[in-house]
């Protein structure tokens, strides 16, 4: 008996990842044509701020997002350094998302300038996913004057990697069945979850490209990297079945850090808290939100975990403000007396105009022995993907 249907070609999704090119910097150049062709850097203050966006001209000086502003100024003293104008970026973002919404209701925003679209069900109306991506790019350009890069694939993972490949103004289409060949030559750190630490461990195993990673057995990957290993096995083959999830309301934005050595020095603790506050504040601004309910989470070296919360008089997205109130919460802890293993800052009761966001990549609980490793992986994902610090309300109490 023979079958004519192949079990290897299940119905697959048609996903587009769209990512505006150097978004904040591009908006600044759009609004002020005198800036065009110049290195434009949008970010915080010279003393403590970091780069939020750098134009492609600025990137030629080695300037990157999240680099300290002082460093960016050192690299490019003649650059145009501008403070962010979030209200304006939100306005442009609204126009872009309105264009996305013409094609599908399945739009999952990742930030003001980035989204996944599932266009599986609307191809009869608008053409193939690649054609839809082309149309969206043209409409964004015509209606906003800005360029967006697109990746088209059967999974979020591959679409996201594809959109980044030919920036700016890129369009990269990865046909179903060609994922492995597409990914194979790319450096392994292109995969979510591969940060500097995992990168080094993989290099010791002779893995530099994603294709190299495909040569490792799932057993070896799992024994070396635990849960991250089984994820890597699938990711290296482009396997990712997460759906595009629209309309997930974010409940909180936060960040936490597990330290490689327990902290006792008050000066270092203060420095770490300031860094956390800046990170959370930057993320709030990136998502166009402000928060009122502030929580400090502390895990001591003995693994005892506490959290202390306060409701602020007004919602904020300011690092200094967050840091000040954290100072008050700190007095209700034993930080400084007992060694500290982890610190976290979260803001909830969010206000703002972006009502849709997404859940973390790894929401399920993990084996305690692998927690540290996973934390590192999560940190790398946060760096690369910038979304997993968005937590659903149920994880708030952690």
Site of interaction with Mg ion (CB under 5 A):
19-20, 23, 113
Closer by beta carbon to Mg ion, 113 or else 257: 113
Minimum Å distance from CB 62 to Mg ion? 19
The first and second tokens of residue 242, run together, are 């997460």
- Find residue 252's DSSP bridge partners: 348, 391
**Least distance (Å) from Mg ion to the CB of residue 45?**
23
Q: Which residue has the tokens 């490019």?
A: 76
Interatomic CA distance for residues 254 and 309, integer angstroms:
13
CB of 146 to Mg ion, least distance (A): 10
Q: Are the CB atoms for 349 and 315 separated by under 8 Å?
A: yes
DSSP string spanning 37-90? Answer: TS-EEEES-TTT-BEEEE-HHHHTTT--TTSBHHHHHHH-TTSEEE---HHHHH
Q: Measured between alpha carbons, how far is residue 128 from residues 108, 222, 315 in Å?
A: 19, 38, 44
Q: Output the smallest distance, CB 383 to Mg ion, in A.
A: 15
Task: For the beta carbon of residue 184, count every other beta carbon within 10 angstroms.
Answer: 16
Q: How far is the CB of 154 from Mg ion (least distance, A)?
A: 22
- Catalytic residue of the set 114, 139, 278, 321: 114
Q: How many CA atoms lie within 13 A of 318 on its CB side?
A: 9
Residues 6+ apart with CB under 8 A from 390: 250, 252, 253, 287, 357, 358, 359, 360
Q: Do the beta carbons of residue 172 and residue 130 sit within 8 Å? A: no
Of the two residues 23 and 233, which places its CB atom closer to Mg ion in the complex? Answer: 23
Residue 195 Cβ vs Mg ion, minimum distance, rounded to whole Å = 20
Interacting residues of 315 by C-beta distance below 8 A, sequence separation 6+: 290, 291, 292, 349, 350, 351
Quick check: is 219 catalytic? Answer: no
Q: Which is nearer to Mg ion, 23 or 116 (CB)?
A: 23
Question: Tokens 């070609």, residue?
Answer: 9
Nearer to Mg ion, 113 or 240 (CB): 113
How far is the C-alpha of 127 from the C-alpha of 369, rounded, in Å? 48
Q: Which SS3 state, helix, strand or coil, does residue 289 take?
A: strand
Q: How far apart are CA 146 and CA 71, in angstroms?
A: 28
Give me the active site residues, please: 114
């Amino acid at each position: 008996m023979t079958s004519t249907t192949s079990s290897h070609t299940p119905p697959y999704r048609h996903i587009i990842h769209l990512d505006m090119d150097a978004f904040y910097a591009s908006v600044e150049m759009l609004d002020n044509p005198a800036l065009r062709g110049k290195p434009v850097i949008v970010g915080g203050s010279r003393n403590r701020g970091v780069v939020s966006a750098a134009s492609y001209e600025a990137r030629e000086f080695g300037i990157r997002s999240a680099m300290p502003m002082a460093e960016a100024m050192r690299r490019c003293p003649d650059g145009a350094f501008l403070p962010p104008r979030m209200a304006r970026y939100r306005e442009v973002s609204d126009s872009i998302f309105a264009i996305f919404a013409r094609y599908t209701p399945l739009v999952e925003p990742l930030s003001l300038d980035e989204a996944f679209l599932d266009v599986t069900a609307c191809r009869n109306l608008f053409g193939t996913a690649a054609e839809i991506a082309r149309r969206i790019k043209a409409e964004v350009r015509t209606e906003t004057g800005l360029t967006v890069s697109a990746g088209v694939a059967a999974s979020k993972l591959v679409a996201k990697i594809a959109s980044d490949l030919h920036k700016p103004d890129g369009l990269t289409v990865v046909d179903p069945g060609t994922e492995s060949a597409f990914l194979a030559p790319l450096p392994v750190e292109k995969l979510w979850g591969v940060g500097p630490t995992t990168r080094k461990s993989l290099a010791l195993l002779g893995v530099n490209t994603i294709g190299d990673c495909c040569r490792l057995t799932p057993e070896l990957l799992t024994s070396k990297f635990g849960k991250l290993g089984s994820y890597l096995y699938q990711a290296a083959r482009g396997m990712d079945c997460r759906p595009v999830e629209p309309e997930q309301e974010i409940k909180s934005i936060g960040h936490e850090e597990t330290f490689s050595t327990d902290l006792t020095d008050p000066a270092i603790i203060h420095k770490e808290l300031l860094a956390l506050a800046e990170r959370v504040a930057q993320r709030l601004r990136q998502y166009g939100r402000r928060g009122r309910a502030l929580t400090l989470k502390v895990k001591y070296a003995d693994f005892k975990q506490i959290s202390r919360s306060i409701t602020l008089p007004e919602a904020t997205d300011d690092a200094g403000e967050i840091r000040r109130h954290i100072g008050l919460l700190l007095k209700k802890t034993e930080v400084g007396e007992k060694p500290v293993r982890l610190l976290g800052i979260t803001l909830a009761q969010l206000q703002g105009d972006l009502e849709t966001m997404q859940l973390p990549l790894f929401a399920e609980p993990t084996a305690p022995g692998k927690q540290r490793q996973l934390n590192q992986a999560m940190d790398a994902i946060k760096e690369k993907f910038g979304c997993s610090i968005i937590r659903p309300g149920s994880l708030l109490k952690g």
